[in-house]
A and B are shown apart, each in its own frame.
Chain A
Amino acid sequence: MALEPVKQVRGRAVHVPANDIDTDRITPARYLKVVTFDGLGEALFYDERFNADGSEKPHPLNDPRFQGASILLVGANFGCGSSREHSPQAIYRAGFRAIIGESFAEIFFGNSTALGVPCVAAARADLETLVWAVKQEPGLEVTVDIENLEVRYGERSFTIGLPTTAQKALTEGRWDPIADLLEAGDLLEQASARLPRATR
């Protein structure tokens, strides 16, 4: 299964502020009552973006200046809480291809990487400068360089963090691990034969 390597993500960015944004906020639980991930882009931050009557709240994702952004800028511990993959699926289906934040919750990070969406960590000061620049100029092109672990925009750049395993998975087109896992072949049967199993 050949996957597209993710070496670089280039596009406009939008900032969704605050730390500890949980996956219930990213995708409220009622949007989990589905048997496919289709259409989940609509659910993204729904209760943050809309009132109960469907009218819009002020939210960066409702701001016409940031429509079409493909890079999400977030705070610390983004994606905490529930393991629901519906959250990164919604982010992906809403058009985002990379997330830059101070830090990420672990399950969210893994779920996003497995979709080919890099979650890269940035120092707060670097992030704040980028957020400021994007607010000044919403059309600013931002490059997330996964190979060189660097974010570039305008005349500026800063270093980003990404575990080597995720970096390799993304840049080598192995972000969906299923092909690698299947290659284990008989090793799986051997492991199953020696490891405990609950049985009645």
Chain B
Amino acid sequence: MGKSLYQKVWESHAVRTLPNGQTQLFIDTHLIHEVTSPQAFGMLRDLGLKVRFPERTFATVDHIVPTHSLLEPFEDPQADEMIRQLRKNVRDFGITFFDVTSGLQGIVHIIGPENGITQPGMTIACGDSHTATHGAFGAIAFGVGTTQVRDVLATQTLAMAKQKVRRINVDGSLQPGVYAKDVILHIIKVLGVNGGIGYAYEYGGSVFDNFSMEERMTVCNMSIEGGARCGYVNPDQTTFEYLQGRAYAPKGAAWEQSVQRWQALASDPDAHYDDMVEIRAEEIAPTVTWGINPGQGCAITDRVPNPADYPQAERAGLEEALKHMNLQPGQAIKGVRVNVAFLGSCTNGRLSDFREAAKYLKGHRVAPGVRAIAVPGSQQVARACEEEGIDKIFTEAGFEWRSAGCSMCLAMNPDKLIGDELCASSSNRNFKGRQGSATGRTVLMSPLMVVAAAVTGRVSDAREVFGVGELVDA
């Protein structure tokens, strides 16, 4: 029986077995940011330890960065203290830092891939749960806590237990107006927000074969929302074409050797999987969330659940979600009033996201009373958009065009919801309070659906608003 990529990478990175039975796993690439690293550096100093392989750690600043002005000191003294701490730490320990002045700053899960730091077959760790994004390249990438950030800094290894592997095949053709975001929201809806606990997700099938790297990243990014700490796609020609020529990718003879090695790392055709799931692409609709976790989603044409239709044990959870969202049992999700539209984040803050949204947004206006912001995921994404005039399309439509950062995905910066505002958001989490107001409400959706919501002021079917393809369902 053959091996999965996960198994191959795990075996090649196992340093030894620890006394408690866990594996000491070598981490090829460590990514850090300002939120989950300062305490790790503090622990390192307390223990009198050094960064063992500083050339294997890369730093950026993303969560706390204001997107309206990079003027320092930042208005928020806590944010200012965090960026200053990070600068001190990378200087003291000799770590490469993509600072705001570098022209390369951005969300950690966007800059790794775009600089070629993320490569197939690598183990990648970051103190951030969306690290599985890098799995799009066939890397085994996962989020860790701050104590583990310290472990990687001090030893370049982690104490880990091997996971099971679930293969998720999505085969067939996606309907017009259905995007990678809909695919992952659909997967989470089907398998549940805790369905992936204990598993690495291997995504495959014709839909993934045909996806661009950016689409693969969108899906892998939200693996954790389905409970899977790690999710990946096997590397193929699309992967290699994306990587070739990027700053940190192998060059010359090393490139050819690397491609050969990467090809051999892909899961064997007869690989063992602990579980297999088959999903038909045609069944996936433009999907939006109606509740307070990413699994509480439905097709845009659907109605939100009526708790009375569900078993007693599930009702309290549904009622809590509907109450928070201020939705009536069984009401249509389409037509719900939107106050804010947010396009950006490590899920959907890449060039192709803005390009696709701009293609349809052109000539439309943001509805009166809607606050709409477009936030490129990195300074490189921002420049690429600006070179294509995409920023103009957004600003002419009434969006604010911001600078790179996590922005309103988690509101550790000035971009926040106010009161019980409802946000049509291309980000990854609709948890209570996630976007900066305890009573704020989030509806997750694809970038195109966000601009549709922005121009209509309501949760809308982008296929109707922009005449995308043919309408298939009623």
Q: Is the CB of A165 within 8 A of B21?
A: yes
Knowing A25-B432, A25-B433 touch, does A33 contact B78 (C-beta < 8 A)?
Answer: yes
- Asked if B402 is an interface residue, CB under 8 A from chain A, the answer is no
Considering the complex, give the chain A residue whose CB is closest to the CB of B26.
A191
Contact with B along A77-108 (1 / 0, CB 8 A): 10011111110100000000000000111110
**A-side contacts of B431, CB under 8 Å:** 22, 24-25, 81
Q: Is the CB of A103 within 8 A of B157?
A: no
**A-side contacts of B154, CB under 8 Å:** 178, 181-182
Which of these, B26, B116, B145, B229, contacts A195 with CB under 8 Å? B26
**A-side contacts of B410, CB under 8 Å:** 24, 29, 82
- Asked if B411 is an interface residue, CB under 8 A from chain A, the answer is yes
Q: Is the CB of A83 within 8 A of B193?
A: no
Question: Taking the nearest CB of chain B, how far is it from the CB of A70, in angstroms?
Answer: 21
Q: How far is the CA of A18 from the CA of B121 in the complex (A)?
A: 39
Q: Which of A65-81 contact B (CB under 8 A)?
A: 76-77, 80-81
- Asked if B198 is an interface residue, CB under 8 A from chain A, the answer is yes
Considering the complex, give the chain B residue whose CB is closest to the CB of A176.
B147
- Asked if A184 is an interface residue, CB under 8 A from chain B, the answer is yes
- Asked if B166 is an interface residue, CB under 8 A from chain A, the answer is no
Which of A133-141, A146-154, A167-175 is the interface stretch? Answer: A167-175
Considering the complex, give the chain B residue whose CB is closest to the CB of A167.
B20
**A-side contacts of B81, CB under 8 Å:** 35
**B-side contacts of A126, CB under 8 Å:** none
- Asked if B356 is an interface residue, CB under 8 A from chain A, the answer is no
**B-side contacts of A104, CB under 8 Å:** 197
Name which of A1, A76, A180, A196 has the most chain B CB atoms within 10 A of its CB: A196
Considering the complex, give the chain A residue whose CB is closest to the CB of B47.
A178
**B-side contacts of A200, CB under 8 Å:** 247-248
Which of B34-42, B268-276, B325-333, B462-470 is the interface stretch? Answer: B34-42
Q: How far is the CA of A36 from the CA of B81 in the complex (A)?
A: 11
- Asked if B425 is an interface residue, CB under 8 A from chain A, the answer is no
Q: Is the CB of A178 within 8 A of B151?
A: yes
**B-side contacts of A142, CB under 8 Å:** none
**B-side contacts of A114, CB under 8 Å:** 145, 147-148
Knowing A196-B28, A198-B248 touch, does A80 contact B194 (C-beta < 8 A)?
Answer: yes
Q: Is the CB of B24 within 8 A of A184?
A: yes
- Asked if A34 is an interface residue, CB under 8 A from chain B, the answer is yes
Knowing A33-B78, A110-B148, A192-B156 touch, does A80 contact B436 (C-beta < 8 A)?
Answer: no
Q: Is the CB of B429 within 8 A of A81?
A: yes
Name which of A34, A103, A187, A195 has the most chain B CB atoms within 10 A of its CB: A195
Q: Is the CB of B12 within 8 A of A19?
A: no
Q: Is the CB of A33 within 8 A of B412?
A: yes
- Asked if A16 is an interface residue, CB under 8 A from chain B, the answer is no
Contact with B along A32-46 (1 / 0, CB 8 A): 111111000000000
Q: Is the CB of B227 within 8 A of A77?
A: yes
Q: Which of B149-203 contact A (CB under 8 A)?
A: 150-151, 154-159, 161, 193-194, 197-198
**A-side contacts of B150, CB under 8 Å:** 178
**A-side contacts of B15, CB under 8 Å:** 184, 187-188, 191
Knowing A36-B42, A168-B20, A196-B119 touch, does A83 contact B127 (C-beta < 8 A)?
Answer: yes
**B-side contacts of A166, CB under 8 Å:** 20
Q: How far is the CA of A165 from the CA of B160 in the complex (A)?
A: 9
Q: Which of B369-402 contact A (CB under 8 A)?
A: none
- Asked if B316 is an interface residue, CB under 8 A from chain A, the answer is yes
- Asked if B264 is an interface residue, CB under 8 A from chain A, the answer is no
Q: How far is the CA of A28 from the CA of B258 in the complex (A)?
A: 42
Q: Is the CB of B429 within 8 A of A192?
A: no
Q: How far is the CA of A106 from the CA of B148 in the complex (A)?
A: 13
Considering the complex, give the chain A residue whose CB is closest to the CB of B43.
A178
Question: Taking the nearest CB of chain B, how far is it from the CB of A75, in angstroms?
Answer: 9
**B-side contacts of A19, CB under 8 Å:** 317
- Asked if B79 is an interface residue, CB under 8 A from chain A, the answer is yes
- Asked if B55 is an interface residue, CB under 8 A from chain A, the answer is yes
Question: Taking the nearest CB of chain B, how far is it from the CB of A147, in angstroms?
Answer: 14
Q: How far is the CA of A33 from the CA of B412 in the complex (A)?
A: 7
Q: How far is the CA of A176 from the CA of B159 in the complex (A)?
A: 10
Q: Is the CB of A80 within 8 A of B248?
A: no
**B-side contacts of A196, CB under 8 Å:** 28, 119, 121-122, 258
Question: Taking the nearest CB of chain B, how far is it from the CB of A161, in angstroms?
Answer: 12
Which of these, A20, A36, A115, A163, contacts B38 with CB under 8 Å? A36
Knowing A37-B39, A198-B119 touch, does A103 contact B147 (C-beta < 8 A)?
Answer: no
Q: Is the CB of B161 within 8 A of A18?
A: no
**A-side contacts of B227, CB under 8 Å:** 77, 80, 105-106
- Asked if B129 is an interface residue, CB under 8 A from chain A, the answer is yes
Question: Taking the nearest CB of chain B, how far is it from the CB of A178, in angstroms?
Answer: 6
Question: Taking the nearest CB of chain A, how far is it from the CB of B82, in angstroms?
Answer: 6
**A-side contacts of B438, CB under 8 Å:** 28, 47, 52
Question: Taking the nearest CB of chain B, how far is it from the CB of A107, in angstroms?
Answer: 5
Question: Taking the nearest CB of chain B, how far is it from the CB of A7, in angstroms?
Answer: 14
Q: Which of B13-37 contact A (CB under 8 A)?
A: 13, 15-16, 18-22, 24, 26, 28-29, 35-36
Q: How far is the CA of A35 from the CA of B41 in the complex (A)?
A: 10
Question: Taking the nearest CB of chain B, how far is it from the CB of A46, in angstroms?
Answer: 9
- Asked if B293 is an interface residue, CB under 8 A from chain A, the answer is yes
Which A residues fall within an 8 A CB radius of B? 1, 18-20, 22, 24-25, 28-30, 32-37, 47, 52, 76-77, 80-86, 88, 103-107, 110-111, 114-115, 163-166, 168-169, 172, 174, 176-178, 180-182, 184, 187-188, 191-192, 195-200
14 contacts between A and B (CB under 8 A): A1-B47, A18-B317, A76-B194, A77-B197, A83-B128, A83-B129, A83-B143, A103-B197, A111-B146, A174-B18, A181-B159, A182-B49, A182-B155, A198-B249
Extra contacts, 12 of them, besides A82-B128, A197-B56 (Cβ < 8 A), are A30-B412, A32-B35, A33-B76, A35-B38, A114-B147, A176-B147, A180-B20, A188-B156, A191-B13, A191-B26, A191-B157, A195-B12
